[in-house]
Structure 1
């Protein structure tokens, strides 16, 4: 049952490391000089997901909720991380992991006040941010499915050809088929099985030579320990501010997951101690991961669903899964095999995963009463945030952009789009008078009678 939890989160856990490596410009072949760095990032993703999960299940003083919470690498931070490392190779990692470390310490401090700041982060704000995170990532999924960024940069005829798309579409079809027509573990592990089917297909059609797999296996060590501050320690103001601000979003997500576990598995509300302990574990796990070259950790919602489905509330089951992750993280050969997954196969998987991130954000927004006040807040925040995000994506390297006159730190933070949107939504939500909530929505909805009360979820699901 512990392995079930690992299967449910495994692909989502290692994918951010692979995306980050691609953004940094790492070579993906087993003969590439960047190959060891790629393995190390995958290895740390597994190792510190396991360690952070142990904090949650076993606890260490006030750190941890003593609940079956599975921790894993967070997608939420990817739009913040990509601008920090884009095209810089290994040189961009010192500032990145210093930001992860310091941001993790700040995240841990949120555990002392998380109960008091939740009022500033209602579903209107968190739903907007999660939706924008997904929208920022869907482009990555399409690029992977079409053959990867390197082929696109080269202007290759192979980019977007039928061979690439057939692989990605096979993964999507298998994933959806299992998700909706299978039951139990087959449904829970649909993305993992879909990627496995795509992997085997690539071997059968010759897209992935068996020699490449054996070469990756042979070139990876059988055992390796993490190295503290392997890439150095370089404090970047943009990195530190970005990780600290996104910590608020991650903390609120964890609060929702803790509540989902206690409601689904025990039929009760989460206690303040459990919420604070889970937030401490989020931050401490992230800080320790950053010190060794790991990425930010957060609770994984798919495992909350697994607990609700099985009804097994034992934290010791999740502890066993955490130990399995730690063992995987200490064996780079496992990372070597993961790295041989063709980019198109991964593309099919992440299209589904990133789409689910968007869907999760929309689900959160369904808890919002869509009156005039909330529609104005959402409209302004989304327009500015998504506009900045899309404009930055369309800027050629070395070209000008809408934020070129800002200091470099503010330029990096603004280009993510997510942080400006979150800040605008929080400020407007706190400042705009509630009287607007009583006014009709006709003026801003083009006559469509979008009465918000009818859009609320009766069960208040997260």
Structure 2
């Protein structure tokens, strides 16, 4: 499908342009395929952390199914807020919203091992955090100075580092299998490795939509492999299908509503980071799709939609939403800036969210197969953070900020017992790893004098630094 066949260059750069429906529908579905796996994965991770059983005969099966259903439904609703707008809410741009990975390190401690009982506090935090996120839209442009690449790159890297353990656990057999003989078996790892290798092959040896859907295709191949080796049976699939309703509406306050200090503080602090991420995505869309800078109105409207979309989702049992960066790249690749194309994708997501049988099929994906997919996705989060950090001027000041932030943040995550005597709220916030690292980096970046930036890094780096600009020392070329 060539760009000329879709519209003229002027039309393609216009967010209000509507391509012919026979073009708009596949373009919209393409956006859904690019984000589908990433969108439903957080719900599965939170269900696993809460201790929900993954079998179709498990008493927790309806809860897991509902969380997946809400992830699809409210990703679509939040996307409609962005594309169609509602007063000042929404950017009026082709922004695809989806469930955010960034909040997972905050959510896991809130629900760990508590089953359904931990969800009231979780969704209370989602609602309050979403309202705070929307409030940030009033002055989002004025606080960007507090989040240079050093801080944002550290935060994104920490998000990935906080999640890689989950990917390994899933690939080995899932949290419930830890300590059993089956955990870490060759069979379990083979399913995960099939997904990883297929994903890499598709990503780097194909182009266009195939390359963009590499993780999805990897999971499909892994699913077929699991069927072939007996990890999954057709009986499991039919049982899940038969237990899933053909149509179901969301239930308001299904899990109750509880004010938890740890949840509210955690979600509000992460909303600050998520808002800045959305600003970057809006800028990427307008630059890549229309060749211009984003307006203040677009940035403000996108932030409002981010927050309100999350708050509304929380009322019905949906997880917090944010703009999806992979779809920003898709817009730059296709050159189609039409917000109505993304509206088509949003309607498709809503339709999937109202049909629990779709979630029932997703639920049958073996945890080991999903592990292969999330290893790739979470590794890419770490890589994205490192890419952002490449823009940092690695002088002594910035090295000290990074070193202290990641040492304390990652250290507390790896050794939560170090703060066992603190109140429960403080323990949850600190052992997430992400929040202490982000707060330390933000505070130090604002407080440490810039004069340190002019000093050599030799004292800190053991003489291996180059100049004060953080370049690597010159080394002779090796012989090949």
TM-score scaled by length of structure 1: 0.95
Q: Which of 75, 87, 106 in structure 1 is aligned with 2:101?
A: 75
CA separation of 1:455 and 1:339: change in aligned 2, threshold 3 A = farther
Q: CA deviation at 1:449?
A: 2.5
The residue that corresponds to 1:10 in the other structure is 36
CA contact (8 A) 2:396 2:468 kept: no
CA contact (8 A) 1:367 1:455 kept: no
Q: Which of 325, 336, 341 in structure 2 is aligned with 1:317?
A: 341
Q: How does 1:204-243 map to 2 (within 5 A)?
A: 204-243=228-267
CA-to-aligned-CA distance 1:387-409 (integer Å, 9 cap, x gap): 101112xxxxxxxx111222211
Q: Which of 79, 83, 89 in structure 2 is aligned with 1:57?
A: 83
RMSD: 1.1
- Count residues in correspondence: 446
CA contact (8 A) 1:370 1:450 kept: no
The residue that corresponds to 2:172 in the other structure is 146
The residue that corresponds to 1:402 in the other structure is 418
CA separation of 1:357 and 1:445: change in aligned 2, threshold 3 A = same
Q: CA deviation at 1:326?
A: 0.1
The residue that corresponds to 1:283 in the other structure is 307
1: distance between equivalents of 2:182 and 2:160?
Answer: 27
The residue that corresponds to 1:436 in the other structure is 452
Q: How does 1:268-347 map to 2 (within 5 A)?
A: 268-347=292-371
1: distance between equivalents of 2:300 and 2:266?
Answer: 22
Query: Match of 1:402, SS?
Result: helix
- Mapped pair 1:85 → 2:111: yes
Question: Which structure would you say has the larger Rg?
Answer: 2
2: distance between equivalents of 1:405 and 1:143?
Answer: 28
- Displacement over 2 Å in runs of 4+: 449-456
2: distance between equivalents of 1:364 and 1:276?
Answer: 23
1: distance between equivalents of 2:168 and 2:370?
Answer: 10
Question: Which structure 1 residue ranges, 5 or more long, are not aligned?
Answer: 393-400, 457-462
The residue that corresponds to 1:396 in the other structure is none
2: distance between equivalents of 1:422 and 1:81?
Answer: 16
CA-to-aligned-CA distance 1:2-24 (integer Å, 9 cap, x gap): 00000000000000000000000
Q: CA deviation at 1:453?
A: 4.3
Q: Which of 358, 362, 369 in structure 1 is aligned with 2:382?
A: 358
2: distance between equivalents of 1:244 and 1:150?
Answer: 31
CA contact (8 A) 1:370 1:451 kept: no
Query: Match of 2:98, SS?
Result: strand
CA separation of 1:28 and 1:402: change in aligned 2, threshold 3 A = same
2: distance between equivalents of 1:377 and 1:289?
Answer: 36
